[in-house]
Structure 1
Amino acid sequence: MEELEHVPLYKKAKDIQNLVDSVVDVIMDSQLEYETEQEGQMIDDSLTYLGENSDLIPQKIALVHGEDIPYNEKMESACFIKNAAIEILTDLDHIELSGYKDIEYFDLLRNEIDDFRILFAEWVTTFDPWDYEIDRWGLFNPPGVKYDDYDPDDDLPFDIDDFFEDL
């Protein structure tokens, strides 16, 4: 299996994480003026979310890196990753709309996320949909797999009814 540090998607996620850290530092060091205390709190929240989302992306990639991870777990992590990337873009827009003017890094970060999106879409196609555990919520099952056909007791090495009859 390829070392995680050499996986292009993971490397790009780490690049995004480092760039977000730099963007947050630059904004924190700037002299932003807020019209209201709530506006200041919203910008502070956006900066916090930028950091949290950029941290989450490589964590979720690492969590499902490996051939022994079932499809449904990979898909669940993929949803978190996609959402985090979109939220980074949304927070950048919010900060920009709030009047922050030095946005050169924003465009660089947007381009990095777009490059990441392409790698991400290619990565998702590598998931084996037939190596899965049934998702009883029905969200991450391969096409045609019924979430309600699964009985968790089927995994038991014995018949539970026989067990209780012996008591």
Structure 2
Amino acid sequence: MATFDDDDDDDFGLDDEEYNSEESKRDLQRENDRVDNLPVMKKAREIFDIVDSLVELIDDEDAFIAHYRSMLFEDASIICAKIAGAEGGDLYSLRMENAVLIRIHARNLLAQTSGLKMLGFKDVRYLQVLRDAIEEFRLLFIEWVNGFDKSNDISDNWGNLFR
């Protein structure tokens, strides 16, 4: 049985000069800027900012309502991370896996707004602001996913779930 050696100095065929070149750094920055400027990412960041403001209004004295703070943050954070992952993965099946997770976490946020309202959260108008932003995100999300290139994929031996 082979063992993993984390001290391996494998550089994946890149020499230090090539790996740390200014051109590589510029390429990475351009890619980061491209992802950051996607309409779906901009809206996801807006949702995160709304959640960030919303959780400040959650009263710590009510344990049921206070529990929502971490759930809201987690879902909003994961949406942004999975958009970046989908853009970085490029293969259709990987992009779709990330898209499914994004959808789940966006829908969780919607469910949490209903839960907060049901538990008597006082500032319900802020819940509607979040719901409206998620609806705008949903429309951008559909457009973004429809742009995925189905022909750019390889078999992963897990079946054709997304074809």
The two structures have a TM-score, normalised by structure 2, of: 0.74
Instruction: Check conservation: 2:96, 2:162, Cα contact below 8 A.
Output: no
2: CA distance, partners of 1:137 / 1:45: 36
2: CA distance, partners of 1:56 / 1:139: 25
1:88 and 2:119 aligned: no
Structure 1 residues 108 and 141, CA gap change in structure 2 (3 angstroms): closer
Structure 1 vs Structure 2: percent identity of aligned residues?
A: 34
RMSD in angstroms over aligned alpha carbons?
A: 1.8
Instruction: Check conservation: 1:75, 1:140, Cα contact below 8 A.
Output: no
Residue 130 of structure 2: aligned partner? 109
Residue 146 of structure 1: aligned partner? none
Q: How many residue pairs are counted as aligned between the two chains?
A: 132
Q: What does 1:32-43 correspond to in 2, within 5 Å? A: 34=62, 40=63, 42-43=64-65
Residue 153 of structure 2: aligned partner? 132
2:56 corresponds to which of 12, 16, 25: 25
Amino acid paired to 2:43: K
- Specify the SS of the correspondent of 2:57: helix
Structure 1 gap ranges (5+): 35-39, 143-167
Residue 91 of structure 2: aligned partner? 70
Residue 16 of structure 1: aligned partner? 47
Structure 2 gap ranges (5+): 1-30
Residue 160 of structure 1: aligned partner? none
Runs of 4 or more above 4 Å deviation: none
Amino acid paired to 2:87: H
